[in-house]
Amino acid sequence: MSAGTRPPGADLPEHPDHLWREPDPKRSYDVVIVGGGGHGLATAHYLARAHGITNVAVLERGWLAGGNMARNTTIIRSNYLWDESAAVYEFALKLWEGLEAELDYPLLFSQRGVLNLAHSLQDVRDSVRRVEANRLGGIDAEWLDADGVREVCPIVDISPAARYPVLGGTYQPRAGIAKHDHVAWALARSADAAGVDLIQGCEVTGIDVRGGRVTGVRTTRGSIAAGRVALCAAGHTSVLAAMAGFELPLQSHPLQALVSELLEPVHPTVVMSNAVHVYVSQAHKGELVMGAGIDAYTAYTQRGAFHVVERQMAAALELFPVFARAHVLRTWGGIVDVTPDASPIVGRSPVAGLYLNCGWGTGGFKATPGAGAILAHTVAHDEPHPLARPFSLDRFTTGALVDEHGAAAVAH
């Protein structure tokens, strides 16, 4: 290293000197939010800041933002296929674009673009379809051919000799990544400062329902009365719903992710490939952040099987031969909560005053501010936010699905 060069880690922003209090739970709140992950904290933030509702507790059975919020690959994009999904994620993306200023916290939100690669003729059709839908929907989207892909990300192997050659890709320039802990803590700090009680180590063990209306929750730290209860517990929302006497169509699967050691910058954007199953970015410090495939079995264990990681590495090297001598530094598992149509459930539940926010699957992080704002609106007005309407629980009865599995249809 030549003299005078700044060390590579010198420019990362620090966290602030104060984050939150650690209060004991009160006997009663206007609103109890179950789950202190990104969505729960964002809901608390918007309840306080957008709706003036501050007599609120966020109950977290572990530590704040220690579940999927700490385990995702931090990709943010809004280039979803269906109007309903694109609308929600675009709403969230617009909030992301103002979030650092709103929260006065360095979120390392970096709009470095996302490439979704196409490897087959059907991928190309699906990609064009999505780009066209996005453009008409007002979302930035481009179709790039293979050379265009290489211009955006020079380390992608676009050789026609590849097993599944890159035929092109869609590109959303406004997409990107953010630093998950910063995001969660910024939301938590804001909620805490507004008077919301963030209560950690507090597991909900029962939900009190009287006359079809929720009256409170029972927890490992005592009973807490609440007129309104919002469930933000991802896959465990099924467990909570069962306490309230109804079922949710959720399946939870382990999903692994991993990081490499810190490396000099090589990867300027975010690349996703469904066919080869890779999604990878290089975070600010320099580590490659990569998601693996979903483990096939259902489980609440935050651990997956190793062959999934091995397969992931093979796929990564197909697209990025330059990664050969990067090292897997750390792997971990999260839980993806998947509904039958791979879209979330947001809105009212069969129990009055009990609100649902779950089933975000692999989309949870990118939705964080949007999900929080929509759920806060829904809780505050006891009426689904307009963007939440398509994501009601009753769509599984009516059949009005928002099927994001759709784009993953198979070849003839």
Partner 1 sequence: MPRQLPSSAHPFRLPTGGRIDRSRTLTFRFDGVAYTGHPGDTLASALLACGVRQVATSIKLGRARGVFGVGSEEPNALVRIEAPYAEAMVTATTVELCEGLVAFGLPGRGRLPDGPDPARYDAVYAHCDVLVVGAGPAGLAAALAAARTGARVVLADENGELGGSLLGRGAADDWGARARDELAGFPQTRVLRRTTVFGYYDDNYLLALERRTAHLGAAAPAHVSRERVWRIRAGRVVLATGAHERPIAFADNDRPGVMLASAARAYVHRFGVAPGRRAVVFTACDSGYPAALDLAAAGTEVAAIVDARPQAGLWAQRARDAGLPVRAGHAVTGTSGDPCLTSVAVRELRDGEPTGPVAVVDADTLLVSGGWNPTVHLFSQAGGTLRHDPARVAFVPRECRQAVEVVGSAAGAFTLAECVADGARAGARAANREATEADLGHVLAPPPDPDDIGGGAPPVPLWLVPGPDEPRTHFVDLQRDVTVADLRRATGAGLSGVEHLKRYTTAGTAHDQGRTSGVLTTGVAAHLLGVEVSALGTTTYRPPYTPVPFAALAGRDRGALHDPVRVTALHDQHLARDAVFENVGQWKRPWYYPLAGEDMAAAVARECRAAREGVAFMDASTLGKIDVQGADAGVFLDRLYTNMISTLKPGRIRYGVMCRADGMVLDDGTVLRTADDRFLVTTTTGNAAAVLDWMEEWLQTEWPQLRVHCASVTEQWATVALVGPRSRDVLSALAPQLPSSSDDFPFMAWRDTRVAGVAARVCRISFSGELAYEINVPPWYAPHVWEAIARAGAPYGITPYGTETMHVLRAEKGYPVVGQDTDGTVTPQDLGLGWAVSAKKRDFVGKRSHARADTARPDRKQLVALLPDDRHTLLPEGGQVVADAPLPAPPVPMLGHITSSYRSTALGRTFALALVRGGRERVGQRIYVPVGSVLVPVTVAEPVLYDPEGARRDG
- Which positions from 141 through 180 interact with partner 1, judged by CB under 8 A? 163-164
State the minimum distance, in angstroms, from the CB of residue 138 to partner 1: 3
What is the C-alpha to C-alpha distance for residues 401 and 159, in angstroms, rounded to an integer?
A: 39
CB neighbours of 334 closer than 8 A, spacing ≥ 6?
A: 67, 68, 71, 72, 254, 255, 256, 257, 302
Binding part of the chain for partner 1, among 40-48, 100-108, 330-338, 368-376 by CB under 8 A, reads 330-338
Report yes or no: 197 and 58 within 8 Å, Cβ to Cβ.
Answer: yes
Minimum CB separation of residue 182 from partner 1 in Å reads 9
Stretch that binds partner 1, among 94-102, 237-245, 262-270, 349-357 (CB under 8 A): 262-270
Positions 351 through 390 that interact with partner 1 (CB under 8 A): none
Backbone angles phi, psi at 168, to 5 degrees: 155, -165
Residue 401 binding partner 1, by CB under 8 A: yes
Binding mask 34-73 for partner 1 (x = CB under 8 A): -----------------------------xx-x---x---
Assess 324 for contact with partner 1 (CB under 8 A).
yes
Structure tokens at 187: 């939301």
Q: Exactly one of 30, 83, 97, 203 binds partner 1 (CB under 8 A); which one?
A: 83
Q: Is 296 in the site for partner 1 (CB under 8 A)?
A: no
One-letter identity of residue 331: T
210 binds partner 1 (CB under 8 A): no
C-beta of residue 369 within 8 angstroms of C-beta of residue 96: yes
Shortest Å distance, C-beta 214 to partner 1: 28
Output 98 or 321, the one with its CB closest to partner 1. 321
CB of 283 to partner 1, least distance (A): 11
Q: Based on the shown chain and the rule CB under 8 A, indicate whether residue 220 belongs to the binding site for partner 1.
A: no
CA atoms of 104 and 354, how far apart (whole Å): 31
Q: What residues contact 289, with CB distance under 8 A and at least 6 apart?
A: 73, 74, 177, 257, 258, 259, 280, 281, 282, 283
d(CA 15, CA 378): 31
Stretch of 28-36, 230-238, 304-312, 370-378 lying at the interface with partner 1 (CB under 8 A): 304-312
Q: Which of 31, 48, 56, 87 binds partner 1 (CB under 8 A)?
A: 87
Interface pick for partner 1 out of 137, 148, 268, 293 (rule CB under 8 A): 137
The footprint of partner 1 on residues 3-22 (CB under 8 A) is: 5-10, 12, 14-22
Nearest to 232 by CA among 40, 60, 383: 40
Contact between 246 and partner 1 by CB under 8 A: the answer reads: no
Closest separation between CB of residue 275 and partner 1, Å? Answer: 9
DSSP letters of 62-99?
SSTT-SGGGTS--EE----SSHHHHHHHHHHHHHHHHH
Stretches 91-99, 240-248, 326-334, 370-378: which one binds partner 1 (CB under 8 A)? 326-334
281: three-class secondary structure by DSSP: strand
Nearer to partner 1, 323 or 365 (CB): 323
Q: Does 408 bind partner 1 (CB under 8 A)?
A: yes
Spatial CA neighbour of 253 closest among 299, 286, 195? 299
Token pair, residue 180, equals 């998950």
Provide CB contacts within 8 A for 176, sequence distance 6+: 75, 76, 77, 109, 110, 111, 112, 113, 114, 270
Residues of this chain, 106-125, that bind partner 1 according to CB under 8 A: 119-122, 124-125
Tell me the C-alpha distance between 356 and 233, whole Å: 9
Phi first, then psi, for residue 371 (nearest 5°) are: -60, -45
Backbone angles phi, psi at 410, to 5 degrees: -95, 170
227 binds partner 1 (CB under 8 A): no
Q: Is 260 in the site for partner 1 (CB under 8 A)?
A: yes
- The minimum distance between CB 211 and partner 1, in angstroms, equals 29
Q: Least distance from C-beta 282 to partner 1, angstroms?
A: 10
User: Is 403 near partner 1 (CB under 8 A)?
Assistant: yes
Query: Does residue 297 bind partner 1 (CB under 8 A)?
Result: no
Stretch that binds partner 1, among 34-42, 46-54, 98-106, 399-407 (CB under 8 A): 399-407
